[in-house]
Structure 1
């Protein structure tokens, strides 16, 4: 790849990591939690109820929390060992060898991010626009897509500033988002009806193929909703004391959000019959309207819109650092290494991700969610478990201040088993999409490597004219 100095255009090629502004633990934890909460649980609770056919869908949320916590240990250890912006791009390259297989896996992660990153961001803004229909029932599909795309573009503009400002914004918004969740949970607790919440259908716990497929679908939904605990790993260069801050932010965010999600589920199920809930298009608004009347539904809808916007903002923040990191390492188009004039914003990478996410808003929400999780699981999440093992073998003793997961290798084994379960219970079309992404990325990498006479075609240099 071309890594020559860039011409002067008001956009600089980037500064050394140590010269950038820094995000504190409070900002890091807030960024993770904002990305995790978003619109996810507010639109997917009906999907989980439908997947399992009753309130036993709570099992999917619990299994998803256990799986994500085990995966969080993987992210925490990798983020502490290699605290650099770009996250998995560096983890996979270093673990599998930066001059060998690691080049391919790093490129595949970059390829995945270019395709899936915009879909992940768009899923938040599309979900946000769908929730807006509770306030404006007449919104057409075109209007929903246009609103979602506009939010992506607004976030693009908002992220064109110092990371410290983003950190303060994430803390302030977290207070609103978490406060809203606590209000919803408290409202449900006051009106909670245990008989309604746990009115399981007769077939609820019949362990057969349908049960396992339904649980897999509910767990996939849970994993999507918990997703975002790795946000801080994407901006490691911009974090204060990253070897300590990154693991703390990852491992605190997962149980905190899990408690909120389980509380939300129980609160809603204790007020709305699950048969009604699984048909709802805005379940939390319907829930609050049942308690406080239409004004309650409108107020909570506004709060959910704020949470959705903030989640998409943090998602774009993390995704924009991956092509930038790859370009700085010389493994992607050099133009993506350009920053703004101050040198504290990855300008071209942010522009690409922001505009691509706006275009991805044309895809349906359920397709965005399913394809995104299956593709990431098939490649990135599985490969990272192997990366931890390889790095441990290479460096048995941790450096001072470096985090190491407890009970190793148990969390890695549980994580691998969980990802395998999600993939094997996914729809064949989504599995095919994941396999196609990996094959296409591999062929593209080999074509580029052959042209540049790089691994695995390094020996061809001898025949170069």
Structure 2
């Protein structure tokens, strides 16, 4: 489907470069930086926390170049599912794409659930007397509204996303400009003793925790790769949408982080009873421009958080579609809405899991939820895609590659090191939570599920391997006429 013109009843290529970049940026700059700046300061123990966002940007760009090459070469719905299916089919059949969908059905909704947790957290600034139960009900209501809005055609969603992107830009610019008017270099650039003592073990533990938070804030640069079958001229648009969104968000985050640290004393961010620890952007506006401006920016941040959940579920719901169509996941996930052409079961299932993850996050803590979802994502998706780029260059040298990774293989090596650092320090940064063990357990359960599933479907290892190299033979989607 994805390497040739969409069949009757399939996806339609209607999303251009601006809309694709807007989708990625809306997902990336959701509630993340507005709730994680205090977490980042806590991880590093001071305003040197800016290193976390810089390190996260480097990892995001290195990994983004992997997505750019794979997405441009294989622009199908499902993103990693397509890439892992093509790269690993020669030795392990459908095991890797199955495991990816298995884990994605967990970590993608968990990412969205953190956005809803942040939404309710900022809503608490406007409604300080909101109780725990009320907050839970509000969050569940937000998820329901998102699912209902996505229950429509992609052309309508593209317009909605553009509007939400503009609101996101307005909210971050308002915080950045307000911070600039009250900026103090003494607050932003006065570091505690031994802040950069790289020879101390605790520095690297804090760095790994900060890198985890940093890459979490950048997650979403690959959203349009999940929607490759709906992107116009994907060989050109997909890589640019990924790279442009990472560079744009990197600039925004650095100005936001430095500006915030120049207005609010970082010690306040570590006090759980201080508004700066839960609604840092509102605290910045309140101190610089007053309560009215703080209320306004809080509303804009709520819209931004909503937009990130919206675009995340939009892209994530496409993940199981191709897998189900090709007998690698439950077959109902391959069903499209008869009129609006979106994956019904994928959207519904991820909406339910997002709601469950939201309740878990509300009754534990946000940092633990971030650590768990990141660890699950790394073990199958991130590390496997680094290897997939190498394998595909060896196995399919004739594959049409309208974009090739710059300085190959350096970005792949940088990404590999970054992901291994996050994974290796996961247990130390979540004492008592055991994210490494949970991620391994989830993958082990997925392997058992694959054995049962492959036996039912009579595929490898209970049948012949099905090797398909359709992207070597398919029509160039960049040369196809696109829908308008």
Query: Smaller-chain TM-score range?
Result: over 0.9
* TM-superposed deviation, 1:458: 2.4
Structure 2 residue 331 is matched with structure 1 residue 334: yes
Matches within 5 A, 1:23-62: 23-62=15-54
* TM-superposed deviation, 1:359: 2.4
Residues of 2 paired with 1:324 and 1:343: CA distance? 15
Aligned residue for 1:427, secondary structure, equals helix
Query: 2:98: which partner in 1?
Result: 107
Query: 1:375: which partner in 2?
Result: 376
Question: What is the number of equivalent residue pairs in this alignment?
Answer: 445
> Judging changes above 3 Å, is the alpha-carbon distance between structure 1 residues 190 and 343 closer, same or farther for their aligned structure 2 residues?
closer
Query: 2:360: which partner in 1?
Result: 363
* TM-superposed deviation, 1:193: 1.0
Query: 2:419: which partner in 1?
Result: 419
* TM-superposed deviation, 1:453: 3.3
Residues of 2 paired with 1:433 and 1:15: CA distance? 40
Residues of 2 paired with 1:91 and 1:17: CA distance? 23
Aligned residue for 1:192, secondary structure, equals coil
Matches within 5 A, 1:132-281: 132-207=123-198, 208-279=200-271, 280-281=277-278
* TM-superposed deviation, 1:411: 0.3
Give 5+ residue unaligned stretches, structure 2: 1-5, 272-276, 429-433, 466-484
Matches within 5 A, 1:267-416: 267-279=259-271, 280-342=277-339, 344-364=341-361, 365-396=366-397, 399=400, 402-416=402-416
Residues of 2 paired with 1:396 and 1:324: CA distance? 27
Residues of 1 paired with 2:143 and 2:340: CA distance? 23
Aligned residue for 1:134, secondary structure, equals helix
Contact 1:153 1:355 in 2 (8 A): no
Contact 1:21 1:162 in 2 (8 A): no
Query: 1:463: which partner in 2?
Result: none
Q: TM-score, normalised by structure 2?
A: 0.89
Give 5+ residue unaligned stretches, structure 1: 1-13, 461-465
* TM-superposed deviation, 1:100: 4.5
Contact 1:150 1:358 in 2 (8 A): no
Contact 1:149 1:357 in 2 (8 A): no
Contact 1:374 1:431 in 2 (8 A): yes
Aligned residue for 1:344, secondary structure, equals coil
Contact 1:95 1:102 in 2 (8 A): no
- After superposition, the C-alpha distances for 1:144-173 in whole angstroms (9 at most, x for unaligned) are 222112111111110111212111111121
Residues of 1 paired with 2:263 and 2:109: CA distance? 36
Query: 2:468: which partner in 1?
Result: none
Residues of 2 paired with 1:337 and 1:249: CA distance? 27
Q: TM-score, normalised by structure 1?
A: 0.92
Aligned residue for 2:360, secondary structure, equals coil
* TM-superposed deviation, 1:15: 5.1
Residues of 1 paired with 2:49 and 2:11: CA distance? 48
- After superposition, the C-alpha distances for 1:19-65 in whole angstroms (9 at most, x for unaligned) are 62511111100000000000000000000001110011111110110
Query: 1:448: which partner in 2?
Result: 453
* TM-superposed deviation, 1:304: 0.5
- After superposition, the C-alpha distances for 1:406-447 in whole angstroms (9 at most, x for unaligned) are 100000000000000111111260111111111110111112
Contact 2:11 2:229 in 1 (8 A): no
- After superposition, the C-alpha distances for 1:220-270 in whole angstroms (9 at most, x for unaligned) are 001000000000001111110111111010011001001100100111111
* TM-superposed deviation, 1:332: 1.8
Residues of 2 paired with 1:251 and 1:452: CA distance? 39
* TM-superposed deviation, 1:397: 5.1
Contact 1:126 1:144 in 2 (8 A): no
- After superposition, the C-alpha distances for 1:173-219 in whole angstroms (9 at most, x for unaligned) are 11121122122112212221111111100121112110000011011
Aligned residue for 1:220, secondary structure, equals helix
* TM-superposed deviation, 1:273: 0.9
* TM-superposed deviation, 1:341: 2.0
Aligned residue for 2:451, secondary structure, equals helix
* TM-superposed deviation, 1:278: 3.1
Residues of 2 paired with 1:19 and 1:116: CA distance? 24
